[in-house]
Amino acid sequence: MQMRALTQADAAVYLVYRRDTLAHDRDNPYNQNRIRQMTVEPTITPVLARIAQAARPDETGMRQSTLYLFDDANTAILGRVSMRTHLSPAMRGYAGHIGYDVAPSARGRGLATWILRDAVAQYAGVVPFVIVSAAVGNLASQHVIESCGGQVQATRERDGERYYLYHIPTAQA
C-alpha cells in the first residue's frame, strides 16, 4: 500500500472509489461532508482543483494536504487523509489537524489505524501532539484514535452534534 497525492491519471480508480462511497455511505452520519463533496464533484477534475486550493494558505495561514491510500497495484483507492497545518482557532476547536476515512469496501481491515498512524508520524518534530475529533456516537473512529494513543481532551458541540477532541502525541508515532 502507498499513500500519495491523487493525479489526473487516477481518474478511473477515483470514480470506483466515489461510486463505492456514494453507494454505501449515503446513510452514514459520520461521512456526510464527503458525500456532499462527492455529489457535486462528478469527476476527478474538480476534486484535484479543490485539493490544490486547500494546499494554499488561507487567511489564517492554514493549509491542507490530502493523500490517498492506494493498493499495491494502484488499482484501488482504499482511503484518504487530510492533514492541516497552522490551525485556525475554529479548526483547533472542531476538526483538528487530521481527517481520514476508509472506502466502505475496504473497512474492517485496520486501514483507518494505518492511515492515522502514518499521518501522525508526519507531524513528529513539528508539533508535540495533533488534534483529531470523533463524533460521540462514532465508536469505530474513537477506537482508531485511541489505539493510536489519542486521549480525550474535551467534549464539544457543533451544529447539534457532540464530538470528542483528542490529542495524539507525535513523539510516539
- State the CATH number of the domain containing residue 158: 3.40.630.30
Q: What torsion do the CA atoms of 45, 52, 101, 26 make, to the nearest 10 degrees?
A: -40
pLDDT single digits (tens) 13-46: 999 999 999 999 888 777 778 888 888 899 999 9
Number of folded domains that form the chain: 1
91 or 20, which is more confident? 20
Distance of alpha carbon 124 from alpha carbon 102, whole angstroms: 23
pLDDT single digits (tens) 105-119: 999 999 999 999 999
Which residues have a Cβ under 8 Å from the Cβ of 87 and sit 6 or more positions away?
A: 62, 96, 97, 131
pTM above 0.85, yes or no: yes
Distance of alpha carbon 43 from alpha carbon 36, whole angstroms: 14
DSSP H or E segment with residue 147:
helix 139-147
Contact status, residue 73 vs residue 88, Cβ threshold 8 Å: no
pLDDT band at 166 (very low <50, low <70, confident <90, very high): very high
Q: What is the chain's mean pLDDT, rounded? A: 90
Distance of alpha carbon 79 from alpha carbon 7, whole angstroms: 15
Domain extent at residue 157: 2-169
